[in-house]
Structure 1
Amino acid sequence: MSSTKDLLQTPVGQRPSSPPMSPHHDSARKGWTDKLEKSESDKRAWRWAAVGGYALSVMLAGGLIAVSNRPPPKPLIARINTDGAAQVLGYATPNYTPGQAEIRYFLKHWVELVRTVPLDPVVVKSAWNEAYNFMTPASANKLNAEARVPGSTMSKVGQETVTTQVTSVVPVSADSYQVRWIETSFTDQGQVKERSTWTSTFTVKQSPPDRKIELINPLGLFITDFNWQRDIGSTP
């Protein structure tokens, strides 16, 4: 080879014009070059990944700030007329005064929540949790005490079912109402066990609901006290 020839012909003490080349020199140099290029490519990829991650973090932070600054949704009050047409009354505000129809429905719904006994205890618990959204702490404590009384609706869970039919809701003062309903108890075999009539007096107040429950109780109606009893002469 030319490099070997140059080496042999070069006088002693004088370097050859080019270093001797082995057959593997080119391949080693190419491999090293490829490694350097791959290293640079990896660095560029990581730099772009870092830039992309930073940009994504900025976008997410901006989105969270925008969501946190957005005002909460306002419940819309609507009323269904006797002919079935919906009438939008506007957004619920502290100045909105519920009519008698809203209060009657409110009390009817609450009685059905706490006096109806489905067979599934999970459904019963869900109904009571909903009912708490319409009660003051004092009346909620009273309801819990009623649940521990022998023969209460809670004591029947898993043993029998009870349906509730509200028959009347009558105002007795500016903030008090008398509610009457019929309860029908069924055995676990689906046979009628007894029917009874109940009467209760409710005291109701209106106050702005907490943000956590304003979508559940947009009217801000709360039961402050109640007193129910089974009517004398109810048909077993």
Structure 2
Amino acid sequence: MNMINELFKLKPGADETMRINDDRMEGGRRLGENENPYLSARRTWNDHMRGIQASRTMWQILALLCLLIALAGVGGVIVIGSQSKFIPYVVQVNKLGEAVAVSRADIAAVADQRVVHASVAAFINDLRMVTPDIALQRRAIFRAYAMLSNNDPATAKANEWFNSTEASNPFKRAETQTVNVEIISVIPQSPETWQVDWLEKVYDRQGHLTEPPFKMRALLRIYNKPTTQSTTEEQIRNNPLGIYIQDFSWSKQT
């Protein structure tokens, strides 16, 4: 019993809790520990496996980094390869074949005010007209939608105008009425906003006025959209200048 107490008795002058020294000596023994071949072999094996695990983890991290770098490189090559290497130009020549103007064809130029004037007037006419000729009516609707983009408020308003009631649906309305639109004036209020005044006449199928002609006024906000790689050939044919209606509102004038 006295021998056991002596083993657990602190050495004189020790003021800290006894700690086991984890330092290894040659052969896998701790300091102050008797030689034990079984414990030494186990500790040596554990140290060996710990080193292998650390080395494997390091190589796994390195391989993952290399894979990420390779993926980024392949993605960059794909993006660069998908870009056009050719820049189209339009060259205007005179009667003698001399170049008088050169411009890039992939960048939309600012449309002339007269062209915007005609485009805005045509949009109102196509949106408001009603004709018994189904083919002519369809072409008018397609021309109007060619100046609309899916994400703009004007598209939602056009959908509501054509489909909200039978009175506004041009195909249903054409069964009993026709509508003639006469543009009176197209005036720019700002570089992006235009005011259109027109006279609207409603006829029955016999050609008689169903009500007195009335004046309408609309405010349209426009913008110029340049062509991109996603622009289709059909979009270029229907709207070659890229003039789009962002928003519009109209009202009947008294």
The interval holding the TM-score normalised by the smaller chain is 0.5 to 0.7
Asked if 1:189 is matched to 2:206, the reply is yes
Asked if 1:227 is matched to 2:240, the reply is no
Aligned to 2:236: 214
Indicate how the Cα distance of structure 1 residues 129 and 166 shifts in structure 2: closer, same or farther if over 3 A, else same: same
Compute the RMSD of aligned alpha carbons: 2.9
Equivalent position amino acid for 1:198 in 2: M
Q: Map 1:33-182; keep pairs closer than 5 Å.
A: 93-137=106-150, 138=152, 139-150=154-165, 151-152=167-168, 154=170, 155-182=172-199
Deviations for 1:122-150, whole angstroms, at most 9, x for unmatched residues?
42222112211111213222101122344
| Deviation (angstroms), 1:90 | 7.4
Instruction: Report SS of the residue matched to 1:191.
Output: coil
Asked if the contact 1:166–1:179 (Cα under 8 Å) also holds between the matched residues in 2, the reply is: yes
Indicate how the Cα distance of structure 1 residues 118 and 89 shifts in structure 2: closer, same or farther if over 3 A, else same: farther
Aligned to 1:204: 222
Give % identity.
23
Higher mean Cα deviation, 190-199 or 114-123? 114-123
Matches of 1:142 and 1:199, distance apart in 2: 16
Instruction: Report SS of the residue matched to 1:186.
Output: strand
Higher mean Cα deviation, 145-154 or 168-177? 145-154
| Deviation (angstroms), 1:75 | 9.3
Matches of 1:206 and 1:116, distance apart in 2: 25
Matches of 1:90 and 1:114, distance apart in 2: 34
Asked if the contact 2:163–2:169 (Cα under 8 Å) also holds between the matched residues in 1, the reply is: no
Indicate how the Cα distance of structure 1 residues 192 and 75 shifts in structure 2: closer, same or farther if over 3 A, else same: farther
Matches of 1:162 and 1:206, distance apart in 2: 30
Instruction: Report SS of the residue matched to 2:179.
Output: strand
Deviations for 1:23-79, whole angstroms, at most 9, x for unmatched residues?
xxxxxxxxxxxxxxxxxxxxxxxxxxxxxxxxxxxxxxxxxxxxxxxx9x99999xx
Aligned to 2:3: none
Indicate how the Cα distance of structure 1 residues 128 and 95 shifts in structure 2: closer, same or farther if over 3 A, else same: closer
Asked if the contact 1:165–1:182 (Cα under 8 Å) also holds between the matched residues in 2, the reply is: yes
Matches of 1:89 and 1:105, distance apart in 2: 25
Equivalent position amino acid for 2:252 in 1: R
Instruction: Report SS of the residue matched to 2:160.
Output: helix
| Structure 2 gaps, min length 5 | 1-85, 93-100
| Deviation (angstroms), 1:111 | 1.1
Asked if the contact 2:221–2:247 (Cα under 8 Å) also holds between the matched residues in 1, the reply is: yes
| Deviation (angstroms), 1:193 | 2.0
Matches of 1:220 and 1:158, distance apart in 2: 34
Asked if the contact 2:199–2:215 (Cα under 8 Å) also holds between the matched residues in 1, the reply is: yes
Q: How many residues matched?
A: 152
Asked if the contact 1:75–1:214 (Cα under 8 Å) also holds between the matched residues in 2, the reply is: no
| Structure 1 gaps, min length 5 | 1-70, 78-87
Output the TM-score relative to the length of structure 2. Answer: 0.53
